Each structure stands twice: as structure tokens, then as C-alpha cells.
Amino acid sequence: MKILADENMPFVQELFGDWAEVVTCPGREISPEQLRDVDVLLVRSITGVDAALLAQAERLSFVGTATIGCDHIDTELLARRGIAFASAPGCNKVAVGDYVLAALLRVAVHKGWQLQGKTLGVVGVGNTGAEVAARARALGMTVLLCDPPRAQRDPTAFVGLEQALAADIVSFHVPLIHGGDHPTWHLLDQATIAGLSGDQVLINACRGDVWDNQALLARQQGPSPLTLVMDVWEHEPEVLAPLVPHVLIATPHIAGYSLEGKVRGTFALYRALCEQLGNDRRFTPEQLLPPPPIEALHLNEAPDQAVVARLVRLVYDIELDDAAFRQFLGQTGFFDRLRKHYPQRRELGSLRLLGTVGNGESLGFKVSGGSADSLLTEKADR
């Protein structure tokens, strides 16, 4: 069996290498010719799997995407051709929750805000949106959930888009949908952008084309700019460079790029392919993860917002990602190069809080009682 996988998927050799030939390459460079003798294709969100890509894929029997979203996959085509398909729902929801939490705390410093009592509109309440909502509630924020398809089934749990867009901070977590009853392409269009208050904050950690970047640039160059956090960009890997100086936090589509999230994504496809072939699974996700650089910390009192921000930065410093983005912006291939060489990032749950932990567990950390004397381990030279 021959497997072709995106080079940014970790542990493919460890999981599949004992019973398949594994070849990796950049996800954007996968070509129809490469698929001539391939049995299994494993991709991430940057590879569009459509009729053109599969034109020469005569042996292909399984396609997997190590992502939550599937808008880059023509699943109807796969079904017609009898090609099995698997995705990884929920694999990076924790990482995106970490990213948005770090962004919220950075925004709070920038604007001099206490987040408790502020409103957060969450547009799209699937796996990642629900995770973000839980983190915000742990900060004491009032959360407004907006998800029109789900609102049809449970209208009392959700607000309309107009109400969500009136929140102090609005975070987007929708798939990219071009048609149908609930399209999301340019959900934030010129008219909507013009109607927002200059005091508001917008966060996009889903798909770049959900926001009209040119319309945003026009707004940002005017007298009442918004505060923006952008992990995704229209026309990736191209970036509207003039917009970047007007963005508080700019990153290269890495919100879900934790090591744990990547392991979950790869493992979900490993599990699905094992079931497809009738193979026994030899690994668990935990076996693939190395020990974290910092294992535990003891807190003597419940952490306030400033202490939470310090704890988050111990595990994930979002400002380092922003600085790297700005440093290499404009260089040929910078966007994909940052993704390919992204440093190993652990999730907040890799850090155990001891003592008086407050809402630590709801914020994403592990918690336990007892002393840190035997658990506190600093393995990184920070």
C-alpha cells in the first residue's frame, strides 16, 4: 500500500510506516500525477481534493483530512467513485480555544479592558465555537451564540447575526459555504463592516474568505478602525500586505496548530484506515506525545486576569507568532514556510495547576490538588 500525506502531518511514519510505503510532500504541491499509484491520500485544509486532482488517481481507495472542516473536499465525488473518506472532527478545537483565549488576553492589555462583563459574540457554534465560548465564560464574559442552522432546531439558545455583531468582541468559527440557505463567503462584507463600531474587536480563526479583506482595509484606513485578530486571510497563501499594519495580531493560519491537535488529527485518520482495512491499532495518541517543557505550577491564590495571561504565555505566547508573521511578511513563500517550520506548541492542558486554581480547568489547564514539590518540572530554558 502507498500513502501520500501532507508533510505537515506529524507521526505518519510512526503510525503507518510498518504496513505501508509513506511519501510526504507540501500540501499545496500535490499533483494529479503523484496520485497515479497512490492508495491513500492524507491531507490538511490547504489541499483541494476535487475532480482535477483525482483525474489520474486510479488506485485511490481512501482519502482522509486531518481537519475539522471538509469544505476543501469534494465528498460527493469521492462517494460516486467509491472512495472511502474520513475527517477529524474536533481534533483542533482545544488548540483554537487556546489561541482565542491568548488573543482575548492580548486584546485586553491593548485596550485596557477587564474581560469580565464584556460580551463575546461567537459566530458558528460547532466544535471550535463551543470551545471558545467555554473559555470566554470562564473569564466571566457574557457569550452570545450565533448559529443559524442550529437555531432552526433550538431557537432559544441562539441570537441572530445582527445581535452577535453588536458584541464587544466577535469571534468567527464557521465553515466556508458559498451557496445554500446559510452562505458564509464574505459573511463580513462591506456593508456589515461599515456598520460596526470602532470600539469593537473581530477575531477570525476559521476561513479567510469569510471576511472581505479589501473592505476591511478600507475601514482600517478610515477614521474609526476596528481591532482585528486575523489567523486566516482571503486568498491564502497570499496576504493583503497593506492590511497587516492595521491588525493587532496577525498569524499564518496556525490557530489549530498545537502538537496535541495535530496528533489527534493524524490519529483519527489512522483509526479510520485501520477500521477500513481491518488492521489492529498498535498506538494510542498519548504514546506519541513527548513530556511538556513545564509540567506543573502551584498557585497560592485563584488567578486573576493578569495571572491567567502569564500562565497562558508560559505554554503559548501568541505574540511570538505575530512577530514572526510581520518579520517575514513579503518574502516569497513566507506563509507556507512559517506553517511548515512552526515550532512545537503544546496545549494549555499540558500544564497542571496545583493549589488554588480558580477557573483553571475551564480555561483549558489541567488541575489537581496537592503540593508541586514533586511535580514541578522545568525542562525548557525559557
Task: From 163, 169, 194, 165, select the one nearest 111 (Cα to Cα).
Answer: 169
Report whether 67 belongs to an annotated binding site: yes
Determine if residue 316 is labeled as part of a ligand binding site.
no
Amino acid symbol at 211? W
User: 72, 131, 219, 236: which is the annotated catalytic residue?
Assistant: 236
Beta bridge mates, 63: 41, 85
For residues 241 and 31, give the distance between their C-alpha atoms in angstroms, rounded to a whole number. 28
Query: Under a CB-based contact definition with an 8 Å cutoff, are residues 356 and 302 in contact?
Result: yes
- Please indicate if the annotation marks 112 as binding a ligand: no
Residue 207 is among the residues annotated as catalytic for this protein = yes
The residue with cell 473592505 is 215
Amino acid at the residue 36: R
236 assigned to active site: yes
Distances (CA, A) of 34 to 7, 54, 287, 298: 14, 10, 32, 52
How far apart CA 209 and CA 170 sit, in angstroms, is: 16
Q: Which of 106, 135, 253, 352 is catalytic?
A: 253
The reply, when asked if residue 256 is annotated as ligand binding, is yes
Beta bridge partners of 21: 2
Distance CA 255, CA 12 (A): 21
Active site includes 361?
no
Q: Does residue 193 contact residue 221 with C-beta atoms inside 8 Å?
A: no
Catalytic residue among 44, 72, 173, 207, which?
Answer: 207
How far is it, in rounded angstroms, from Cα 315 to Cα 308? 11
Asked, as a colleague might, if the bond just before 237 is cis with ω within 30 of 0, I would say yes
Q: Which three cell numbers stand for residue 73?
A: 473536499
The catalytic residues are 207, 236, 253
Pick out the residues of the known binding site for substrate: 45, 67, 257
Pick out the residues of the known binding site: 45, 67, 147, 231, 256-257
Pick out the residues of the known binding site for NAD(+): 147, 231, 256
